[in-house]
Amino acid sequence: MTLYLDASALVALHIDVAERGLVREAMDSDPDWCTSALTLVEALALVDRVTEEPVLRIDLEDQVRLSWDRLAIVPTDQACLDRAAHLMRDQPLRLSDALHLAAADRLPRPVRFVTFDPAQIIVALSMEFDVVSS
């Protein structure tokens, strides 16, 4: 099985929230971790929403970047963009959500999709991904 982490999962891995355990458990049970090239941009933007403390922001950004280095990256190339456009025509998705789902759709099946974004969960289930969420 292949594990896909979106930005919400990548950030949850490094903060003290209930979802952290779900992400760790999913990662412990699957050696193949993947994400979209978009994920780092989104995760770094989330860092500023998680804490206002400058030192904590720096630490969290470092942790996110260290985890990023361990992930296989699905490129956001024309094939990914085309698939995302198709998903957005069929589903009520934001562009970033469609890009995550399109990237995961390129992976070999079965795919476990880790997200805490409600908009992605419904579509991921319809794409027959095994969704890990709270």
Which structure tokens are listed for 40? 């780092």
> To the nearest whole percent, how much of the chain has pLDDT over 90?
95
Chain mean pLDDT for the chain: 96
**pLDDT one-digit tens code per residue, 7-57:** 999 999 999 999 999 999 999 999 999 999 999 999 999 999 998 999 999
For the chain, give the secondary structure using H, E and C. Answer: CEEEECHHHHHHCCCCCCHHHHHHHHHHCCCCEEEECCHHHHHHHHHHHHCCCHHHHHHHHHHHHHHHCCCEEECCCHHHHHHHHHHHHHCCCCHHHHHHHHHHHCCCCCEEEECCCHHHHHHHHHCCCEEECC
User: pLDDT tens digit string along 97-112?
Assistant: 999 999 999 999 999 9
Residue spans per domain, the chain: 2-128
125: pLDDT strictly greater than 80: yes
Does residue 113 carry a pLDDT above 90?
yes
Does the pLDDT value for residue 1 go beyond 90? no
CATH superfamily name and code, 2-128? 5'-nuclease (3.40.50.1010)
Q: For the whole model, what pTM was predicted?
A: 0.94
